[in-house]
Amino acid sequence: MLEATEVVGPVVASLSVSREKTAILQLYPVRRHDYPDDAAIRFKTEVLGYLKGWLDRQLSKRETAVLGYEQLIVEWIGASHRYHEVRFL
């Protein structure tokens, strides 16, 4: 489910975890024309669970395994959500 490609659609959410294990969830507004009702339903039923699982995995890492900031970016590409994982040292 996780892909390493460039972001081409609107970003709908991002979740970041610092090396101190603090998390920041950011939700972004998207025009209704660009994000149909079906996408919003799938965000609630699929994406939120994926974000929670990713956050749980990040928080369960040993302190020595975290080098910097980890971020998960969620974009909408017209038919589905796509995930991008980014690391900042």
Which pLDDT does position 9 carry in this prediction?
A: 93
Question: Which residues, 6+ apart, have CB-to-CB distance to 11 below 8 Å?
Answer: 28, 73, 74, 75
- pLDDT per residue as tens digits for the range 13-58: 999 999 888 999 999 999 999 999 999 999 999 999 999 999 999 9
> Distance between CA 87 and CA 47 in Å, rounded?
20
Region 57-77 average pLDDT: 88
pLDDT at 4 over 80: no
Model pTM score: 0.88
Q: What integer is the mean pLDDT of 65-82?
A: 90
Eight-state DSSP code of residue 19: T
Assess contact for 52 and 60: CB atoms under 8 A: no
